[in-house]
Amino acid sequence: MKASRLKIVSFFIAAFIVTLLLTSCESTGKMEGAEKEIARKVDSVLSLMTLEEKVGQLMQYSGFGEFTGPVSDDHNYMEVLKNGMVGSMLNVNGAEYTRKLQQVAVEETRLGIPLIFGYDIIHGYRTIFPVPLAETASWDMELIETSARVAAAEAAAAGQHWTFAPMVDIARDPRWGRVMEGAGEDPFLGSLVAASRVKGFQGNDLADHSTIVACAKHFAAYGAAMAGKDYNTVDISNRTLHEIYLPPFKAALDAGVETFMSSFNEINGVPATANRYILTDLLKKEWNFKGFIVSDWSSIRELIPHGVATNEYEAGYLAMNAGVDMDMMGLIYDPQLFQLMDDGKVSQSQLDDAVRRILRVKFKLGLFDDPYRYCNEEREKEVIMNEEHLEIARDVARKSIVLLKNENNLLPLDPDKIKTIALVGPMADNQFDMIGEWSARGNPAEAISLLEGLKNSLEGKAQIVHAKGCQITGEDKSGFSEAIRAARAADVVVAAVGESKFMSGEALCRSDIGLPGVQKEFIMELQKTGKPIIVVLMNGRPLAIPWVKENVPAILETWFLGTQAGPAIADVLLGKYNPSGKLPVTFPVSVGQVPIFYSYKNTGRPPIPGIRWNSKYLDIPVEPLFPFGYGLSYTTFEYSEITLSDTILLPGGELTAEVTVKNTGVRDGEEIIQLYIRDLVGSVTRPVLELKGFRKESIPAGESVTVLFTITEEDLKFYDINMEFTAEPGDFEVFIGPNSVELKKAKFTFME
């Protein structure tokens, strides 16, 4: 290129870069400017507030009749509301009801500070999406963000400003009921899901009337409760806290989450709600969190039974000094803060900081400009459960389904060849359980059951004979014979079995994670008919079902898929959608293996079959029933060996790992290609595998895709012997494959 032309081109490039820099500075500047403007407005309101009004802003009360926790008092909230002593309400629903209460706050109190309404919009508001653990099985971050965006749009149309979601607790014990509410066992996947959900809920503008404030919960390490018992003691190393349980919270923060919720559990002796290290030193100072922290329901008051506070006064002191800004239904801050401030135990600046943080979010929501912007009955009618949302919910549900087994390609069913389907089991004609726990304003009557969904999809091409056979729980086998008769008369049996929605969720833990009741015996009797059986699982947690895996030719994990469960499962059963989900959590052979997860440590005596002196059981295998990342397709995929761009990685450098994946079947399909690494030697022991990347690729039948992963020093970092987050030189193995077991391997060295 001639010098003169080069000059002109370089001028334009420079001009373009300057413009880019100015715009980005401008946008950063705009953001800083907006924050400054909000801070100015907050201070102006704060300067007008009395001590009572300030304390009132820190109080959150539940709406009547929909309590999501123990209620210690029948406090007359309307009275405190009229006195301007309420900052927030939760469990208040509908544009009309929220408007009514907002009018009291805005038009009948001295300063008219608007309320912020919060609610548990965990997987949908009225259009219910798959439970979060199910959605995570899609490994599709765009899909998960869309799901949260729809939930926010419906909730905001019904007067909600704030959701107590995403729940980002890593869970490695399937006895724990709340495993259904999170993103499974892995911090890398859990962090991506946390960020996607925050972006979906909050969008780019909280003042937009289709977005709501999100809340990263339960801070922190709630999922590490001993024995999988809810609210139980958490005793973990500082390294495990930082390496496993904190990353999804940091990801939520980096995605802009505006609130956190402190958890019920203690962490190594200090309850999270009184834990100054995690709430203030880490979250507010080190991570520079500008939003506010709400306690979980009555968790401030529960510092008393925890045994760290003698009374309500001490409980209030501990929580305030730890950094909890808002008291959810603890009824502690009001009145205890008054005495605490008189006694100099809580300072004016501490109180003002908490009030500022809460007012800042209310300003960002636009509530001071228009406190009724979210209470629009017209919009509520047009947005909620509209066709677009229902279609999105069906798509999310389909993509959350995991095909666990498909012997001899029994699935998908071909209605042209199958004349009669026996649809049996307690989950077949079941709407109630489809929407799962934490289903907000979801109406089970609006959920489409598998029976209805299959009938609609078959359009009469094949006959369905339905027989329930048994209940979810209990010992009654009297329905077996009818179902067996139906099976004998059919070409194929679809057995819909699983848990009730009330078997997973808060305070819903199980010591036995097999199929409840007589469902296993039911399937055993069906199997004696010799008819091909497809088991469709509907559950909120990993199930230990070794007999089913061994003896049933086809198994679909469908979790609790929400309002569109029936159509989505029918789409997969009939091959209208080729299942692509992968497990975000390990399924154990037996509860005796728990806790069991893919990124375990090797130990000094890794298991060696047939040899005694090593780490294994006498009576069950050490391998899981189904591993993390596992999921089949109606087609097959073949992985090439890994090609590395280099076998040496230098600090600040990068290397690429490339594979070609071929669809060797006759159906188009999607494959979630996973990348793991192993640090062979470290200053502390390192897991045998860590997920560091994945790609979801659509691959037409007979075609291939080549996928390139880039590995940098960042991917190798961990908390070393001195708790420094760093990468250490040495040999690494890199793995790529369809799950955390079937893996191609290559090696590289990270050099100092």
Find the shortest distance in angstroms from Cβ 178 to ligand GLC: 8
For the segment 247-286, give every residue that binds ligand GLC (CB under 6 A). none
Which residue's CB is nearer to ligand GLC, number 296 or number 525?
296
For the segment 3-32, give every residue that binds ligand GLC (CB under 6 A). none
Which of 296, 327, 334, 395 is flagged as catalytic? 296
For the segment 49-78, give every residue that binds ligand GLC (CB under 6 A). 68-69
* 120 is an interface residue for ligand GLC by CB under 6 A: yes
Distance CA 654, CA 266 (A): 41
Distance CA 450, CA 429 (A): 6
Distance CA 688, CA 627 (A): 14
Q: Of how many residues is the chain composed?
A: 752
* 169 is an interface residue for ligand GLC by CB under 6 A: no
* 312 is an interface residue for ligand GLC by CB under 6 A: no
Query: Between 480-488 and 519-527, two packed helices, what is the crossing angle to 10 degrees?
Result: 30
Find the shortest distance in angstroms from Cβ 44 to ligand GLC: 32
Distance CA 725, CA 242 (A): 10
297, 363, 634, 735: which one binds ligand GLC (CB under 6 A): 297
- Size of site (CB under 6 A) for ligand GLC: 9
Find the shortest distance in angstroms from Cβ 186 to ligand GLC: 21
Distance CA 144, CA 400 (A): 10
* 437 is an interface residue for ligand GLC by CB under 6 A: no
Find the shortest distance in angstroms from Cβ 282 to ligand GLC: 21
**Binding characters for ligand GLC, 485-524, by CB under 6 A (x = yes):** ---------------------x------------------
Which residue's CB is nearer to ligand GLC, number 120 or number 715?
120
Which residue's CB is nearer to ligand GLC, number 297 or number 639?
297
Amino acid letter, residue 656? T
Q: What SS3 class is residue 554?
A: strand
For the segment 74-103, give every residue that binds ligand GLC (CB under 6 A). 90
Distance CA 499, CA 520 (A): 12
- For the chain, the straight-line distance linking the first and the last C-alpha, in angstroms and rounded, comes to 40
Q: 643-644 and 654-663: which strand pairing?
A: antiparallel
Which residue's CB is nearer to ligand GLC, number 219 or number 297?
297
The DSSP call for residue 123 is S
> Which structure tokens are listed for 156?
């905001």
* 296 is an interface residue for ligand GLC by CB under 6 A: yes
Asked if residue 66 lies in contact with residue 94, where contact means CB atoms within 8 angstroms, the answer is no
125, 129, 162, 164: which one binds ligand GLC (CB under 6 A): 164
Distance CA 686, CA 700 (A): 38
The DSSP call for residue 460 is T
Which residue's CB is nearer to ligand GLC, number 169 or number 690?
169
Which residue's CB is nearer to ligand GLC, number 267 or number 548?
267
Distance CA 727, CA 521 (A): 52
> E strands within 489-604?
492-498, 533-538, 554-557
Which residue's CB is nearer to ligand GLC, number 90 or number 561?
90
Round the CA-based radius of gyration of the chain to a whole number and report it.
27
197, 217, 362, 364: which one binds ligand GLC (CB under 6 A): 217
Give CA separation, 394 vs 433, 547, 559, 593, in Å: 17, 31, 14, 35
Closest CA to 537 of 133, 176, 187, 229: 133
For the segment 593-632, give every residue that binds ligand GLC (CB under 6 A). none
- ∠ CA 464-466-469, nearest 5°, is 150
Neighbours of 384 (CB within 10 A): 17
**Binding characters for ligand GLC, 170-209, by CB under 6 A (x = yes):** ----------------------------------------
Annotated catalytic residue 646: no
Find the shortest distance in angstroms from Cβ 160 to ligand GLC: 13
For the segment 550-589, give every residue that binds ligand GLC (CB under 6 A). none
> Which structure tokens are listed for 367?
């509530």
Which residue's CB is nearer to ligand GLC, number 90 or number 545?
90
Query: Between 565-573 and 450-458, two packed helices, what is the crossing angle to 10 degrees?
Result: 50
Task: Give phi and psi for 698, each to the nearest 5.
Answer: -90, 125
Distance CA 123, CA 126 (A): 9
Which residue's CB is nearer to ligand GLC, number 296 or number 728?
296
Which residue's CB is nearer to ligand GLC, number 316 or number 505?
505
Which residue's CB is nearer to ligand GLC, number 123 or number 468?
123
Find the shortest distance in angstroms from Cβ 162 to ligand GLC: 10
Q: Which residues pair with 213 in a beta bridge?
A: 162
Find the shortest distance in angstroms from Cβ 434 to ligand GLC: 21
What stretch of H or E contains 336?
A: helix 333-342
* 580: CB partners within 8 A, 6+ apart: 138, 399, 631, 633, 669, 670, 671, 672, 696
Our separate counts of H helices and E strands in the chain read 21, 27
**Binding characters for ligand GLC, 400-429, by CB under 6 A (x = yes):** ------------------------------
Distance CA 719, CA 369 (A): 46
Q: Which residues are catalytic?
A: 296
Q: Given the rule CB under 6 A, which residues bind ligand GLC?
A: 68-69, 90, 120, 164, 217, 296-297, 506
